[in-house]
Chains A and B, each alone.
Chain A
């Protein structure tokens, strides 16, 4: 009996075409990377890059030990930083809530006119970092805490509004129908059917944003918008590296504490 000697095709994950397309894609990415690398490093002074280890060692020697006695001059800026973050978050939330209701598909007054405007506001606020907002606001309304608060507020609008409108769109529609069936006005529908459903999400988002804002407000002073960043800027420009180290430590501690608080509160809510 002749033995059937067909060549068994070995198992492969992809067909040949798929394989070629995949490798072509990776090759294109590699080529793009190479081009970008060349373009990016065109003006790089390599001498500065190669002596970076020495510079780092030098910097390290200058930075340690931190100047702990400087701490007494950091408490007030730290309080300012906390205020920038908290008041900025409140400002952002106040503006974000109506925008979220305008952007959610099921509560917007008009899908064709109001919703796109609300979505544009959200994207514009989200794509510009709070440091850039601060840069602008310091030029417009002058250096100080107010610029920082408004910058944090403007940046928070997009974040809070985006997450909130997604939460509004995901609500259980049955409750809305039940309230509508009682003959409620549209304001009452929002009050009794929608708000109770999104309230936990709303508080979670707010606390989360507050935590991010603490992190961001620590550096706003670099452009003159108040808080501990002002001290950082002053120490950097006088090359007082031991003070810079202390400020970094303080910022790190603040960020860790605010993250812990936010995680606790969010855990308690949901």
Chain B
């Protein structure tokens, strides 16, 4: 019997992901070629970057010593717009997504309705908020109303899809039990489906509230109102201390939202 020791080989780790060496080296080579090509086509104006470092330093200072007071009126207007936009769009978006989500669940809806609802979800999810905001601003004029519509549109795609997936995964036993009592379709939804998906729907809505606030800070850049518009102006005017203040406020609100939504979700479930 040949002993393992006679071969004199040392132990080597086997590769974790790609076992075939040809594939592995092929991917390495491809990545290398791509990286060289990509980096060589990135034109960087290094003198401009060097000149900008000074401005970057001033921005960092503005971030560390933010100025909340001198532009407070603009900041608070933008903030109120953002917050109200966030809440209204989440509420309306969730209300619209509930029927669409039910329609997009294969176990509750007939095929034509299912396909129609899935199509709505697909359209809403594949377009980004900023692009929708550009279109809505062109249609409805500048201001938070266009932002509200944008966020509502995005919320519908997000919540409907996750709600539909959730409904498809419910415990069918409970639905069968309710069906056996001779319940109508509405009663089935109310007594078998709703209790099972409600905690998750609330959790999703809170999560979307959080996302909508973050997005509301962005769509202002293309004219849809909110804190993003204020931030854009502050940066355009090189008022980095005000910009720093706005960014800090955004970070703080997102942190508060994240912690409290985690808390509420624990309480609901």
Contact = CB atoms under 8 A, between A and B. Distances in A.
B130 A131 contact: yes
The interface centre, meaning the residue of B43, B127, B140 with most chain A CB atoms within 10 A of its CB, is B140
Contacts of A222: 130, 221-222
A142 B48 contact: yes
A142 to B, nearest CB: 4
A33 interface: yes
Contacts of A52: 139-140
B188 interface: no
B52 A142 contact: yes
Given A127-B251, A135-B232, A142-B52, 20 more contacts: A32-B87, A33-B88, A40-B84, A41-B144, A48-B140, A55-B140, A83-B42, A123-B258, A127-B250, A127-B255, A128-B247, A132-B247, A139-B55, A141-B52, A142-B49, A144-B43, A144-B44, A145-B44, A149-B42, A200-B16
B229 to A, nearest CB: 12
Nearest to A83: B38
A141 B126 contact: no
Interface stretch (A64-72, A97-105, A107-115, A250-258): A250-258
Interface in A215-236: 215-216, 218-219, 222-223, 236
Contact of B139 (A56, A141, A199): A56
A52 to B, nearest CB: 5
Given A37-B84, A127-B250, A140 B59 contact: yes
Interface in B218-234: 218, 221-222, 228, 231-232
A44 interface: yes
Contacts of B55: 139-140
A127 B254 contact: yes
A132 B231 contact: yes
B3 to A, nearest CB: 23
B102 interface: no
> What band does the interface of chain A fall in when counting residues whose beta carbon is under 8 Å from B?
35 or more
Interface string B122-141: 00001110110011001111
Contact of A45 (B41, B134, B141, B222): B141
A127 B17 contact: no
A159 B74 CA distance: 31
Given A49-B140, A139-B238, A37 B88 contact: yes
A203 interface: yes
A94 to B, nearest CB: 13
Interface in B59-100: 59, 80-81, 83-85, 87-88, 91
The interface centre, meaning the residue of A29, A45, A52, A55 with most chain B CB atoms within 10 A of its CB, is A52
B255 A40 contact: no
A215 B135 CA distance: 18
Given A45-B141, A59-B139, A269 B130 contact: no
A27 interface: no
Contacts of A196: 16
Interface residues of B, number: 60
A191 to B, nearest CB: 9
Contacts of B131: 219, 248, 251
Nearest to B57: A140
A20 interface: no
A129 B44 contact: no
Given A123-B254, A131-B221, A251-B131, A55 B139 contact: yes
B141 A146 contact: no
Contacts of A127: 214, 250-251, 254-255
A269 B16 CA distance: 10
A16 interface: no
Given A48-B141, A132-B218, A222-B222, A29 B16 contact: no
A87 B141 contact: no
Contacts of B38: 82-83, 86-87
A145 B251 contact: no
Contact of A44 (B144, B215, B235): B144
A226 to B, nearest CB: 9
The interface centre, meaning the residue of A45, A126, A219 with most chain B CB atoms within 10 A of its CB, is A219
B121 interface: no
A28 interface: no
A136 B59 contact: yes
A252 B145 contact: no
B231 A59 contact: no
A201 to B, nearest CB: 12
B10 to A, nearest CB: 15
B243 interface: yes
B39 interface: yes
A23 interface: no
Interface string A53-79: 001100100000000000000000001
Contacts of B59: 136, 139-140
A45 B16 CA distance: 60
Contacts of A255: 126, 128
Nearest to B34: A86
